[in-house]
Structures are given as structure tokens and as C-alpha cells.
């Protein structure tokens, strides 16, 4: 299929009364949800038929979470993988597994998700902001500059489907003796220079919430390569203790007498996750192909620059991020594209300025900006061991590159079920609108 030659009316922007490129909404983002089908139903039904929704024991346990973990390890080469109840829980578990707490700071990028900061603060440590670069991920140069005497770990967040300069980030961590946690919540199935995400640091975490590359409604995975760490992770995700082979609590090992988070994965989530994980390469393959087809068709357009992707082969493709010369042109670009029909159904998020991207930006997280606490004593900000961070600021202005990208970038979600025609319409709409941009 090729692009049709436009008529004069079709050339006029829909924003100015011309004919829109399309009127049908694009499909919802929500990559995995579109693929839920007979395979998911069969496995979930198996759990229900067996009346055994708990992973550790039951009337007739089906071991869905076990199988999900095993297939995840096999697919991505992890030594250890543990299903948990969410990505947020996975982050908290990772922090505690590494024994982070008061007196420690964890370096995080300013383009992230609220859960990243929440996990650091709830474990009693202090988040230290690091700028991003044109990859929209941690800038390893700024990371090196921000390391201080209290720095203990780096939370490297692979944002919007693809890692940034991961090898350089890893090198900075190694050179400075910092633990590296990879937040792969938005990059299930991604890799960097041939190695799957989650294997570049000490611990990796994934999320299987509805917006992610695959979903089990709510769920996550924690991966690591070290057995001692894994035993802590297992205890922390449960009740703080190990379990016997029969699935009963085992309080005998002094190394795993901890405080658990109650974040086990249910067999229902495990069944759904297992079926989705088997489809993950197809889901990400579809998004990656569509995204790069659109991007390549528009490469070189004056006024439009694309996010730097250091390793396109490892991209999972759910977002196309573009940067415009200024905020006014970003606003114009998005309004004009929406008018051309580049929009999803009501309630979905297909095409937006990144100023509309909420708590993905550090200064849009009120509890961070105002250093809120879950307890009356102001913990962890008030903890004596955290006095070093007294003057840390989280208001806009702390990270110049983040602030700049936030102001003038736009985001197009790439649904996992875009048809050929959908892709052509997106390209056509962007080509129609782009000449109005000022480079």
C-alpha cells in the first residue's frame, strides 16, 4: 500500500478546516491487552478448575507462577526470577534486598515514574536527581558528577520502551562501587547490545500493569543473578521468611528473618502473565516495526528531532518521542495531528505533549517536591542520618535537560495492533503537518 497523492483540500490542515487524514480512532495503547485471548483464558481457567489460586499450596496447585518464572529465566537468561504483585512492590523489594535505608542516597533520573521515588523514600533513603540526555534516560556524565559520599545505588529507569546509554551507566556504577537497579517496568522484552534488560546490574524489576508491554492486570517480576540476594528477595516479597518445599514458612534461617511486603503473585496473575509472556516477542516486534517505520519515514524533517536510541535492535517500540524547537511548536504539532485524526478512543493517550505526561517528571510529583512523609515524624527527610540531604531540591529547575525536554517534546503511543493503514495515516498526517514547523 502506498500513500495517495493529496488533493488541494486534503493538503489544508484539518486544524484550518481541511479534510482530516482519518476519522477512525487509532487503537488504544495498552500493548498486551489487545492480545488477551484463548491462551490466557485456558490457563486462568485451569487455575479456577483446580480451585488453587495460591502459589505455594492448595487443593491442586497448578504452579503457574513457578512456570512463568522458569520461562522468564529461560527466555532472558536470568539466574533467578520471582513473580510479585506489582512493579512498585518489586522496586521496594529491590531497595530492601540491597539493604538501602537512612544515610543512603539513590540516584534517579528526573524522567521516571512516581513509583521509583516512592520506593526510595519508603525504605528511608533519599532520592538524588540526575539529569537525562537525548535518550530520555539517565545521562551517565551527569550521573558521575552527582555521586557523593552518601551515594549507594543507582536506579536506572529504562523509560518509554528502551534503555539509554546503559553500558556507560554500568561503567560509572562499577567505577564508584554503586549498586545498579534496572527499572525495566516499561521495557519488558528489551535488550541492550544483545543482553536482555535486567541483566546489566544487580537487580532488575518489571511491571505487568495494564499499560506495559505485557500485562496480567497487576504484577511484576524481580530478577537477579546472585543467590544470597535472591533469598532476601524471596523473603521480602512474602512474609519476611523462606518457605519449605511444601510451601510452609520456614523461620529457621537467621539470614532471612526480615520484614515482608506481602507482595506474592497469585496463580491467576501467574496464569495470565505466563500466557502473555509467551506472546511478548510478537507484541514488542509489532510495536518496534511500526515505530521505526514511522520514524524512518520522517527522519530528516526540519524542526523535528527524534529521541536518541543507542541500540534500536533492543527497542520494544511502545512510544515515539519527538522534540520540537519550542513549546509553542510542540503544542501546534500535537493539536494539528489530533485534528488530522491521530488520536485514540476517548480515555486513551495516543498523541500528547510531554507537558501532559504527569508524574513521569520529577517536579510533577507533589510528595517529592514538598518532601511529604507517610508518618507524623517526617521520615525519612527528618531522619538524623539523612541530614546530608537537608538542602536537596526537587522543584522544576533542578535538571536543565529534563526541564527543556519536558517543555518541547511530544509523545505518540504506538499501539501493538496498528494496521498497515493506521501506520500510513500516521506518516501522512505527520508529513502534512511537519512543513508548518519552523526549524
Ligand X SMILES: Cc1ncc(COP(=O)(O)O)c(C=O)c1O
Give the residues across from 83 on adjacent strands: 221
Buried/exposed code over 181-197 (b: 16+ C-beta within 10 A; e: otherwise): bbbbbbbbbbbbeeebb
The CA-based angle 266-267-268, given to 5 degrees, is 90
With CB under 6 A as the contact rule, the residue among 83, 87, 163, 198 that binds ligand X is 87
First to last CA, the chain: 30
Task: Tell me: does residue 86 bind ligand X (CB under 6 A).
Answer: yes
Shortest distance, position 53 Cβ to ligand X, whole Å:
19
Residue 243, classed as helix, strand or coil, is strand
Query: Which residue number, 116 or 342, has a Cβ lying nearer to ligand X?
Result: 116
- Within 177-196, the residues that bind ligand X by CB under 6 A are 183, 185-186
Residue 78, classed as helix, strand or coil, is coil
Task: Show the binding pattern over residues 313-342: x = contacts ligand X (CB under 6 A), - = does not.
Answer: ------------------------------
Give the residues across from 138 on adjacent strands: 132
CA distance 39 to 431: 40
Task: Tell me: does residue 131 bind ligand X (CB under 6 A).
Answer: no
Query: Which residue number, 298 or 352, has a Cβ lying nearer to ligand X?
Result: 352
Only segment of 53-61, 111-119, 174-182, 264-272 that touches ligand X (CB under 6 A): 111-119
Shortest distance, position 88 Cβ to ligand X, whole Å:
3
Task: Tell me: does residue 111 bind ligand X (CB under 6 A).
Answer: no
With CB under 6 A as the contact rule, the residue among 52, 88, 261, 416 that binds ligand X is 88
- DSSP code, position 258: -
Shortest distance, position 125 Cβ to ligand X, whole Å:
16
Task: Tell me: does residue 242 bind ligand X (CB under 6 A).
Answer: no
Query: Which residue number, 151 or 209, has a Cβ lying nearer to ligand X?
Result: 209
Residue of minimal CB distance from ligand X?
87
Shortest distance, position 56 Cβ to ligand X, whole Å:
22
Give the Cβ contact number of residue 12 at 10 Å. 14
Query: Which residue number, 62 or 261, has a Cβ lying nearer to ligand X?
Result: 261
Task: Show the binding pattern over residues 193-232: x = contacts ligand X (CB under 6 A), - = does not.
Answer: --------------x-x----------x------------
Task: Tell me: does residue 118 bind ligand X (CB under 6 A).
Answer: no
Helix (H) / strand (E) element for 321: namely: strand 319-323
Shortest distance, position 116 Cβ to ligand X, whole Å:
5
With CB under 6 A as the contact rule, the residue among 52, 62, 96, 115 that binds ligand X is 115
Query: Which residue number, 302 or 366, has a Cβ lying nearer to ligand X?
Result: 366
Shortest distance, position 184 Cβ to ligand X, whole Å:
8
Query: Which residue number, 209 or 409, has a Cβ lying nearer to ligand X?
Result: 209
Question: Secondary structure of the chain: what % helix, strand, coil (to 5)?
Answer: 40, 15, 45
What single string gives the DSSP state of each residue in 169-180?
A: HHHHHHHTT-EE
Task: Tell me: does residue 123 bind ligand X (CB under 6 A).
Answer: no
What's the sign of the alpha-carbon dihedral 41, 42, 48, 49?
positive
CA distance 189 to 1: 30
CA distance 36 to 28: 14
Task: Tell me: does residue 157 bind ligand X (CB under 6 A).
Answer: yes
Is residue 114 within 8 A of residue 91, CB to CB? The reply is: no
Query: Which residue number, 205 or 412, has a Cβ lying nearer to ligand X?
Result: 205
Task: Show the binding pattern over residues 45-84: x = contacts ligand X (CB under 6 A), - = does not.
Answer: ----------------------------------------
Is there a cis peptide before residue 380, judged by omega within 30 degrees of 0?
Answer: yes
- Count of alpha carbons within 13 Å of 281, Cβ hemisphere only? 6
Is residue 290 within 8 A of residue 317, CB to CB? The reply is: yes
Shortest distance, position 263 Cβ to ligand X, whole Å:
10
CA distance 36 to 208: 13
**Which chain residues interact with ligand X by CB under 6 A?**
86-88, 91, 113, 115-116, 157, 183, 185-186, 207, 209, 220
Amino acid at each position: 500500500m502506498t500513500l495517495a497523492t493529496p488533493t488541494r483540500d486534503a493538503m489544508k490542515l484539518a486544524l484550518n478546516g481541511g479534510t482530516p487524514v482519518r476519522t477512525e480512532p487509532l487503537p488504544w495503547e495498552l500493548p498486551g491487552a489487545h492480545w488477551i485471548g484463548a491462551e490466557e483464558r485456558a490457563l486462568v481457567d485451569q487455575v479456577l478448575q483446580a480451585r488453587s489460586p495460591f502459589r505455594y499450596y492448595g487443593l491442586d496447585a497448578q504452579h503457574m507462577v513457578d512456570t512463568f518464572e522458569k520461562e522468564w529465566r529461560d527466555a532472558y537468561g536470568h539466574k533467578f526470577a520471582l513473580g510479585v504483585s506489582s512493579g512498585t512492590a518489586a522496586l521496594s523489594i529491590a531497595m530492601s534486598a540491597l539493604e538501602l535505608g537512612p544515610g543512603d542516597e539513590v540516584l534517579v533520573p528526573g524522567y521516571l515514574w512516581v513509583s521509583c521515588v516512592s520506593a526510595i523514600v519508603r525504605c528511608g533513603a533519599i532520592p538524588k536527581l540526575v539529569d537525562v540526555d537525548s535518550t530520555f534516560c539517565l545521562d551517565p556524565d551527569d550521573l558521575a558528577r552527582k555521586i557523593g559520599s552518601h551515594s549507594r545505588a543507582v536506579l536506572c529507569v529504562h523509560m518509554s520502551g528502551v534503555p539509554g546509554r546503559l553500558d556507560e551507566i554500568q561503567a560509572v556504577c562499577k567505577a564508584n562501587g554503586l549498586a545498579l537497579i534496572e527499572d525495566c517496568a516499561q521495557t519488558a522484552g528489551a535488550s541492550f547490545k544483545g543482553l536482555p534488560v535486567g541483566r546489566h546490574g544487580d537487580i532488575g524489576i518489571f511491571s505487568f500493569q495494564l499499560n506495559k508491554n505485557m500485562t496480567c492486570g497487576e504484577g511484576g517480576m524481580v530478577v537477579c543473578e546472585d543467590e544470597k540476594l535472591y533469598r532476601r528477595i524471596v523473603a521480602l516479597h512474602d512474609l519476611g521468611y523462606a518457605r519449605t518445599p511444601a510451601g510452609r514458612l520456614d523461620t529457621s534461617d537467621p539470614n532471612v528473618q526480615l520484614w515482608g511486603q506481602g507482595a506474592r503473585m497469585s496463580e491467576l496473575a501467574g496464569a495470565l502473565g505466563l500466557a502473555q509472556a509467551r506472546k511478548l516477542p510478537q507484541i514488542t516486534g509489532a510495536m518496534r516495526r511500526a515505530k521505526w517505520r514511522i520514524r524512518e519515514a520522517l527522519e530528516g524533517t526540519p524542526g523535528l528531532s527524534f529521541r536518541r536510541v543507542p541500540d534500536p535492535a533492543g527497542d520494544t517500540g511502545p512510544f515515539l518521542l519527538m522534540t520540537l524547537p519550542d513549546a509553542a511548536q510542540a503544542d501546534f504539532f500535537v493539536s494539528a495531528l489530533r485534528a488530522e485524526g491521530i488520536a485514540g478512543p476517548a480515555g486513551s493517550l495516543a498523541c500528547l505533549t510531554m507537558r501532559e505526561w504527569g508524574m513521569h517528571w520529577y517536579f510533577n510529583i507533589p510528595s517529592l517536591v514538598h518532601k511529604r512523609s507517610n508518618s507524623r515524624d517526617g521520615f525519612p527527610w527528618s531522619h538524623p542520618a539523612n541530614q546530608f540531604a537537608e538542602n536537596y531540591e526537587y522543584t522544576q529547575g533542578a535538571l536543565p535537560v529534563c526541564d527543556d525536554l519536558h517543555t518541547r517534546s511530544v509523545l505518540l503511543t504506538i499501539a501493538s495492533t496498528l494496521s498497515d493503514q493506521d501506520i500510513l495515516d500516521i506518516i501522512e498526517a505527520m508529513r502534512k503537518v511537519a512543513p508548518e514547523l519552523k526549524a
